[in-house]
Structure 1
């Protein structure tokens, strides 16, 4: 059987990565503002799958401005002066070595699989791990029903909210909730900071359609700078929970937060309009916990007399949760936990979105608009191949509308993506 190999470099740009790490350490030691831009550039470089030969080539990545690209070119010229072998030749040899290593590993794996098949004469008894996986699968598929009054509501608090470097401050979360009489439990959550579950006497747990992401103003600014804001927003939308709440706390006078206050408020307004999330602002941590305690009381009154049953994520996405209904379908907590884990198996579409977000000027709204037209990279490459001439291929994405105003992506982004997905490394 013919085997098709797809080679991905473990570290396509080791030289540039080493320089950026050295500059980042120096900027952090001197507490320079450039450390934030360097950290963003380093993350983009590590996510980029192809080798780059100059600082100018790095300009397509997020975080690489003109100054940083020029600095890389200067460092590269000095590096070449100390080497007898050009940088491009070193990269080529490094790539060929990794290709040969991949081929060797696949050959060894195929030989090992063949030996195991030869030794296998009868079906083996399932291992303990396989038995546990089978039990977990059956538990996820088992239908759960909760009668009115046969369950209690519990507020789940992520462990990150009650542990950390400043433990004294973070422990206030629990003390505040206890003072407000809010029943809660601290667990590790794979998505969001707070959510509510219905728990019956048998230990079954269903997740209410509300999830809260708590951010202080300085943390919000940091997440916007490094791209976490868009990633978290995308993951929250994919969770299946329909009521997404951003609980935003003021940070003093909101002056020393890293970004202009108007920019943060605009980002929150965009999230509210474009994705339908609810934004709640509070004065401090105490007010935030007071809001969550109030939510717990309100949800207790709303859900106390309802019949609840479990549904899978697909059924939940297709239907809408109407709180006036006497019976509601909810996700199991275990299913939400496993499906929302960062290391969960991603679809090709989700990986495509994450890859697009690493490129400069590609926001979540722009990336989602592209993926709506071309769900996978293969679909996009086939569209490029079917274009009658190269000029039309370069402008293929320029007229795709994005956002509530349906503005076109534009020629610059379209040409940049065409170059990225059609440039072959030789």
Structure 2
């Protein structure tokens, strides 16, 4: 029976290993997220038995994305410029190390049978694939992609099977290329997809509501939370598509109150509001948007960027436009994904009566966490002073104060529920 021997150099890539160890120590000291990726790359490099000569060569290993490979190439250029390159391992040294490995393996096989290496779990493989996809840079040349409207699954299925949603049939009749898919934010958005299946999100997202749905979301607090999530998703152009509900009677809230909420959405939140007569007119609007976006973007070069660089890379007058990848938007916008304590505090405040987004943000600007607010209450000498603590906080364009009534309600809530 033939025995397969694993041949390794003792340290085939000492330079790359030393650089990765240094970067890993710096990332751990600064508590950066990159430390997990660097640790994974370092383990893969130490396990690789052959010499590597560039960052590009390292791309075959787990954990080595495009950014890390570029860092290695840059470090390698600086190293070669500062000193003479180290001589490569000679053939004689290589053969000697091979013989040592063969001997060690044979001795170990005589003592015990080596356990087969465990295959990575499916979850680990998916996580690795997701991490590599994050780092992959997508480039799309003009006219090498299609523009497609994505429709959230909630828009094509209703709880009542007898009342079928006509979204898909309307879009088909209007000639709008679309695809039904689960979205973690918004009801409609547009993507550019190339022949390789890469997908970039165009900088527009639409939330559709009927007037009765709008009233319901305002009553239960979802309206403010949805606006917050839409503004935080990274896409700069947010559109509220509002459909009339018959004669807009029996909505659950006065029509004037709903119109005021829409005006506040447009002026204070900076969200575009579009009103239509019915569902069909809404689909006509989306089909028109699809045609306009196709005409605008098909002649441009597109490339993927992260959210931090999106603001400076999405000028629609440029020939080259930076866009988010759909997968990144999907994962980052999942409800409650990667929320900071500050963001959770804002969502918590929005559930309280009479607290708008502007008021909640004004409170969180001064007290970023519930713990800091409770500490401020405890620092007050008297209860009346604590109840008036938030009364003078101003918010909105007119800088109106919260007032003593709302300040008292907040103190009573947190004083009774969190102490």
Q: 1:377: how far off?
A: 1.6
1:271 aligns with 2:251: no
- Name the CA shift for 1:261/1:148 in 2 (closer, same or farther; >3 Å): same
Q: 1:285 to 1:209 in 2, by over 3 A?
A: same
CA contact (8 A) 1:306 1:327 kept: yes
* Deviation at residue 170 of structure 1 after TM alignment: 3.9
Taking structure 1 as reference, are residues 251 and 400 closer, same or farther at Cα in structure 2, changes over 3 Å only? same
Q: Is the 8 A contact 2:313 2:321 kept in 1?
A: no
Determine the C-alpha separation between the residues in 1 that align with 2:187 and 2:241. Answer: 10
Q: 1:390 Cα shift?
A: 5.1
* Kept in 2: contact 1:249–1:284 (CA 8 A): yes
- Out of 353-362 and 199-208, give the one that drifted further: 353-362
Q: Residue 405 of structure 1 aligns with which residue?
A: 398
Structure 1 distance, partners of 2:210, 2:223, is 13
Aligned-residue offset at 1:250: 1.1
Higher RCO, 1 vs 2 (CA within 8 Å, ≥6 residues apart)? 1
2:346 is aligned to 353
Distance 2:313 2:358 in 1: 23
CA offsets 1:52-107 (integer angstroms, 9 cap, x no match): xxxxxxxxxxxxxxxxxxxxxxxxxxxxxxxxxxxxxxxxxxxxxxxxxxxxxxxx
Question: Is residue 292 of structure 1 aligned with residue 286 of structure 2?
Answer: yes
- The match for 2:239 is 245
Cα RMSD (Å) of the superposition? 2.2
How far, CA to CA, are the matches of 2:262 and 2:321 in structure 1? 30
Is 1:331 equivalent to 2:324 in the alignment?
yes
Distance 1:261 1:142 in 2: 49
Q: Where does residue 371 of structure 2 map in the other structure?
A: 378
2:243 counterpart of 1:217? no
Q: CA 1:221–1:320 in 2, change beyond 3 Å: closer, same or farther? A: farther
Instruction: Report the more deviating stretch, 142-151 or 381-390.
Output: 381-390
- Matching of residue 146 in structure 1 with residue 144 in structure 2: no
Displacement of 1:425 in angstroms is 7.2
Q: Any idea what SS the aligned residue of 1:275 has?
A: coil
Q: Give 1:396 shift.
A: 2.4
The alpha carbon displacement at 1:378 in A equals 2.4
Q: Distance in 1 between matches of 2:148 and 2:163?
A: 23
CA contact (8 A) 2:201 2:325 kept: yes
Mark the CA change 1:165 to 1:230 in structure 2 (over 3 Å): closer, same or farther: same
CA distance in 1, matches of 2:363, 2:393: 7
CA spacing shift, 1:417–1:343, aligned 2, 3 Å? closer
Cα separation, 2, equivalents of 1:262 and 1:181: 36
- Inter-partner Cα distance in structure 2 for 1:388 and 1:308: 59
Report the Cα offset of residue 126 of structure 1: 4.0
Measure how far apart 1:328 and its partner are: 1.5
Going from structure 1 to structure 2, the CA distance change for 1:343 and 1:371 (only over 3 Å counts) comes to closer
**What residue number does 1:260 align with?**
254
Distance 1:147 1:182, change over 3 A: same
Between the aligned partners of 2:336 and 2:120, the Cα distance in structure 1 is: 25
Identify unmatched segments of 5+ residues in structure 2: 1-116
Aligned residue for 1:328, secondary structure, equals: strand
TM-score scaled by length of structure 2? 0.68
TM-score of the pair, normalised by structure 1:
0.67
Q: 5+ residue gaps in structure 1?
A: 1-122
| Partner Cα distance (1:294, 1:279) in 2 | 16
8 Å Cα contact 2:342/2:369 also seen in 1 = yes
- Matched residue, 2:150: 156
Contact 1:161–1:170 under 8 Å retained in 2: no
Q: State how many pairs are aligned.
A: 303
C-alpha displacement at 1:214, in angstroms? 0.7
Kindly tell me: are residues 423 and 179 of structure 1, through their superposed partners in 2, closer, same or farther at Cα, counting changes over 3 Å? closer
Larger Rg: 2
TM-aligned CA distance change 1:272 to 1:170, over 3 Å: farther
CA distance in 1, matches of 2:413, 2:118: 48
Cα drift, residue 395 of structure 1: 2.3
Aligned to 2:296: 302
Q: Is the 8 A contact 1:157 1:184 kept in 2?
A: yes
Q: Report how far residue 343 of structure 1 moved.
A: 4.6
1:415 CA drift (Å): 2.6
TM-aligned CA distance change 1:259 to 1:313, over 3 Å: same
Give, in whole Å, the separation in 2 of the partners of 1:176 and 1:373: 48
Q: Distance in 1 between matches of 2:207 and 2:290?
A: 16
When residues 415 and 165 of structure 1 are mapped into structure 2, their CA distance, relative to the original with a 3 A threshold, is closer
CA distance in 2, matches of 1:137, 1:180: 39
Residue 259 of structure 1: how far off its partner (Å): 1.8
CA distance in 2, matches of 1:294, 1:281: 15
